[in-house]
Amino acid sequence: MKAHSSIRLFKNPVLEALTHVHPSVPFLIWIPIVAYQLVLALRSDLGFTGTAAWFAFGVLFWTLTEYSMHRWVFHYQAETRFGKYLVFLFHGIHHDDPQDPTRLVMPPVVSLSLGALFYAMFVALMGVEFTRPFFSGFIGGYLVYDYIHFATHHFRPRTAWGKSVKEHHMKHHYLKKGGKWGVSTPLWDVLFGTFKGE
């Protein structure tokens, strides 16, 4: 990666360091977890077909989660000073400096915390057996999102699909009132009427 002068978020050097992530980190952290969950799922009564179906459902649910978090959490219109600061920490920094290569994937302290929260929620709703393949698909979708997002900012796509994904996300950065919230897929933008943006 090219040298990049990042916007500083914290005076504390430890906290500041935690906001910078090499793009390989999500893969290194999550792939062993996904693989372990899938092995356990394949050994369960679900078998290959059931595991594959729940995995696919998890990927689809991730795309809806990605859209929802990007639209209503990361772009939340906070009114208090503290609220605006939180929104800036979570996502505003990316819009102020979209080419920072160390802030294009989620920091592990955030992704692991959210991952644990989602896993617990899924277990409470559907039990461990279904959660294992579902969560694997969910995290698989998250990893695809992270790397598509990184690629849209740092690589020149060669395929028609790659060009359309990059164009979709780049336009999101310049819309005044929002839109084009999906990064890994425009599916939910189409369904919710935010594909064109404003």
Can you give the residue range of the structural domain that contains 58? Answer: 23-192
- Please tell me the distance from the alpha carbon of residue 33 to that of residue 189, in angstroms, as a whole number: 30
The answer to whether residue 4 is domain-embedded is no
Tracing tokens 């009114």 back to the chain, one arrives at 79
Written as six digits, the tokens of 111 are 């992704």
Instruction: Write the Ramachandran bin of 72: left for phi over 0, alpha for psi from -120 to 50, otherwise beta.
Output: alpha
Note whether residue 15 is domain-resident: no
pTM: predicted TM-score of the whole model, two decimal places: 0.90
Q: Let me know if residue 12 belongs to a domain.
A: no
In a domain, 160, yes or no: yes
Cβ pair 170, 164 in contact under 8 A? no
Residue 32 lies in a domain: yes
CA distance 92 to 113: 20
Q: How many domains does the chain have?
A: 1
Judge contact between 170 and 65, C-beta under 8 A.
no
Residue corresponding to tokens 């294992």: 132
pLDDT tens for the chain, residues 1 to 198: 455 677 888 888 888 888 888 999 999 999 999 999 999 999 999 999 999 999 999 999 999 999 999 999 988 888 999 888 888 887 878 887 877 888 778 889 999 999 999 999 999 999 999 999 999 999 999 999 999 999 998 888 899 999 999 898 988 888 877 889 999 999 999 999 999 865
Beta-carbon contacts of 186 under 8 Å, excluding residues fewer than 6 positions away, are 168, 180, 195
What are the start-end ranges of the E strands in the chain? none
The answer to the question of residue 172 being in a domain is: yes
What digits encode the pLDDT tens for the residues 116-126?
999 999 999 99
Six token digits for residue 19: 């906001």
Evaluate whether residue 7 is within a structural domain.
no
